Structure 1
Amino acid sequence: MSGPLYVPVLPARSHAAGAFRRLWPDVRAAIRPLWNLPPLPGATPEALATAVGKYVGPVSAASRHGGWLDAPFGEDAQTAALAEALFLFCELGWLRPVTGPERTVAQQAAAVETARRCLHGLGVRVWVTGEWDARLGEAVRVLLARTGPEVPVDLLLDMGAVLDDRPDAGKEALRALDALMPLAVWRSAVLLGGGFPRVTADMLEEGWCESARAEWRMWHEVRVTGRAYAPLLGYGDYGVQHPSALAQAPTPGSGGPPWGVLRYTTDRSYLLFKTLTRGPDRIAVNRSAARRIVELPEFRGAGAGQGEEWLSDCANGPLTTSKGVGGPREWLCAGNLQHMTYVVQGLSGG
């Protein structure tokens, strides 16, 4: 069993695709994203085809080294149309379809058929957002029996939100892996989890806050157990967004709160600094937030990656112009650039 170095769970949205494309080539080559189509409630087959092209086209073009493509929020009535629309991108690129034990039989069958036709394999995404339920193991066994041994399968064990209020996540992940690993000759197995918090204004009352990288800790807990599969277990996270961000349906307009956040990932923590989206103090506050990051002992310098470069430029820009200050999309992009680069370099010993 072998697999990718790093699997970020990313929304199939322009900000994530843009950040992924901007990564240094060696960093991007080490990553196999799990792309997620957003909810498209009530969309007709014609509208689905257009939406899939809009959201998946850019991420497919960026994923030349492979990855997975999932539509976890697809409605039952959309199964056939989604399968047809997603097949094109799995066939032309190196993206693999995804299914899971809780999906409908129709969705499972569509994903398996796509995997057979595209010859890239199938991702089996198993969500364990609380305690491990042994019935999931039986459901995975049934799904694998339907799939057949001729289709290579990848295990994507998704623990969902892994925050400090879930201290037993490592134990639950281990219980799940002990049950799932014997069920197949997995081509790869990845442990996924999201440790980035759901950011609120209250969290940033002091201008900044810190949150532990609990998903990183969970992965290490499993890796040191001595299990035969542990050294080969891949690492994945949800980048610098809370897992619930995947379920946000596309919304028109440019509204939003008057505040935002700059993000910086360190070995053990996520550091969050408050920014402003509007108001007369926006430029000064935002440059000050970036300056606080670049003055951190953990800051690795402008040459460490595009995220650090952007933060340095923002911190050192003039207070007389808003150029380089950015907005929510730029802040999110910079955070993902810094985070993904940091994770790859850490996993590869760089």
Structure 2
Amino acid sequence: MSGPLYIPVLPARPHAAGAFRRLWPDVQAAIRPLWNLPPLPGAAPETLTTVVGKYVDPVSAVSRHGGWIDAPFVEDAQSAALAEALSVYCMLGRLRPVTGPERAEAQQVAAVETARRCLRGLGVRVRVTREWDARRGEDVRGLLARTGPGVPVDLLLDMGAVLDDRPDAGKEALRALDALMPLAVWRNAALLGGAFPRATADMLEEGSCEGSRAEWRMWHEVLAVGRAYAPLLHYGDYGVQPPSALAQAPAPGKKGGPPWGVLRYTTDSSYLLFKVLARGPDRIDVNRRTARRIIQLPEFRGAGAGQGEKWLSDCANGPLSTSEGVGGPTEWLRAGNLQHMTYVVRSLPGG
């Protein structure tokens, strides 16, 4: 298979950009992220260049191998100005614009024009939240016709939150792929979906919980059918946050938050979540003890497996006399992403 091994769907946020920057070079080289801008409610078109730069500058700086940049929550009034702001990163950097069949016409036109100008191609993101709708295939056909020849196109089939309540996700993915793959000579085709479950206080009442890797199962179900296009497919997921996290609008000046957080660890078949403390007199002891629980798991791959495992080992073995290395929400997300992305690349053929 040519192209990337792994396409994570990541928020254009500091913790995700920081995690990607810290990946080992060979792991980073196997990954092409699909970066997502958050909603920018009420942002005036004349301010979008500055606002967009705040989010895209860090991810553009770590995207020397390429990737995609998407604004799935753009407001209609922002489409033209946002497309112009993003086009700079596509022209001068290595990011590719993204559109989709359900997007407003103005956004589609702007994305296609950017793709023509930057000569790096266009990402076509097709969402399937439940069952495949054949009309969506016709919408994609129309979008491709407007794109015209000469623009390389990448299929990003996004199955969203693939959880245990979607046992037929593999079948729906096959229906979608059977309809979409013949529509173009896709430069890349990716099957995206699923992530860690959303952590809640109730879930973590006992201190930890476990979720299944339903999207990993979906991926293998699709490959097992043996379609001719299967060797061309790339794997993707939403990393260590649920898909709904992408839709969280920035909250300037927000302080506080829950008194607890989560350490995450990906195994062959499960997502493991462990409760840690964000504040309080027991924070250091609880957090180091929790990290020790993880490094003592039979599935723990050792501090040398990656930067995520190294952080967990350092946290577990640090002194109780100082809080250095026990982290906070940003560090916990970053460590989880480091461990997860490294493990996924190592799990895929060629990784």
Aligned to 1:112: 112
TM-score normalized with structure 2 length: 0.98
Letter of the aligned partner of 1:66 in structure 2?
G
Aligned to 2:227: 227
Q: Is the 8 A contact 2:19 2:338 kept in 1?
A: yes
Aligned to 2:167: 167
Q: Is the 8 A contact 1:2 1:187 kept in 2?
A: no
DSSP-derived class of the 1:5 partner: coil
Aligned to 1:255: 256
Aligned to 2:124: 124
DSSP-derived class of the 1:189 partner: strand
1:319 aligns with 2:292: no
**By how many angstroms is 1:274 displaced?**
0.4
Letter of the aligned partner of 2:156 in structure 1?
L
Q: Is the 8 A contact 1:158 1:191 kept in 2?
A: yes
1:338 aligns with 2:347: no
**By how many angstroms is 1:77 displaced?**
0.3
Aligned to 2:63: 63
Report the identity percentage: 83
**By how many angstroms is 1:3 displaced?**
3.1
> Quick one: distance in 2 between partners of 1:300 and 1:45?
48
1:1-80 to 2 correspondences below 5 Å: 2-80=2-80
DSSP-derived class of the 1:117 partner: helix
Aligned to 2:183: 183
DSSP-derived class of the 2:344 partner: helix
Aligned to 2:284: 283
DSSP-derived class of the 2:31 partner: coil
> Quick one: distance in 1 between partners of 2:14 and 2:326?
20
**By how many angstroms is 1:255 displaced?**
1.8
Q: Is the 8 A contact 1:17 1:62 kept in 2?
A: yes
**By how many angstroms is 1:231 displaced?**
1.7
**By how many angstroms is 1:298 displaced?**
0.5
Aligned to 2:88: 88
1:267 aligns with 2:283: no
**By how many angstroms is 1:254 displaced?**
2.7
RMSD: 1.0
> Quick one: distance in 2 between partners of 1:205 and 1:13?
29
Q: Deviations over 1:120-149 (max 9, x none)?
A: 000000000100011100000000000012
Q: Is the 8 A contact 1:3 1:189 kept in 2?
A: no
> Quick one: distance in 1 between partners of 2:149 and 2:199?
43
Aligned to 1:97: 97
DSSP-derived class of the 1:250 partner: coil
**By how many angstroms is 1:2 displaced?**
4.1
Give the ranges of 4+ consecutive aligned residues of structure 1 lying more than 2 Å apart after TM superposition: none
Letter of the aligned partner of 1:241 in structure 2?
Q
Q: Is the 8 A contact 1:163 1:196 kept in 2?
A: no
**By how many angstroms is 1:349 displaced?**
5.1
> Quick one: distance in 2 between partners of 1:55 and 1:316?
34
TM-score normalized with structure 1 length: 0.98
**By how many angstroms is 1:115 displaced?**
0.1
Aligned to 2:197: 197
**By how many angstroms is 1:195 displaced?**
3.0
Q: Is the 8 A contact 2:45 2:77 kept in 1?
A: no
Letter of the aligned partner of 2:207 in structure 1?
G
Query: Relative to 1, partners in 2 of residues 1:180 and 1:307: Cα closer, same or farther, differing over 3 Å?
Result: same
Q: Deviations over 1:7-54 (max 9, x none)?
A: 000001111101100101111000000000110011012321111111
DSSP-derived class of the 2:203 partner: helix
**Count of aligned pairs between the two proteins:** 350
DSSP-derived class of the 1:194 partner: coil
Aligned to 1:295: 296
Aligned to 1:140: 140
Q: Deviations over 1:316-350 (max 9, x none)?
A: 11112111100011000000000000011111455
For structure 1, which runs of at least 5 residues remain unmatched after alignment? none
Q: Is the 8 A contact 1:4 1:31 kept in 2?
A: yes
Q: Is the 8 A contact 1:68 1:96 kept in 2?
A: yes
Q: Is the 8 A contact 1:34 1:68 kept in 2?
A: yes
Letter of the aligned partner of 1:324 in structure 2?
G
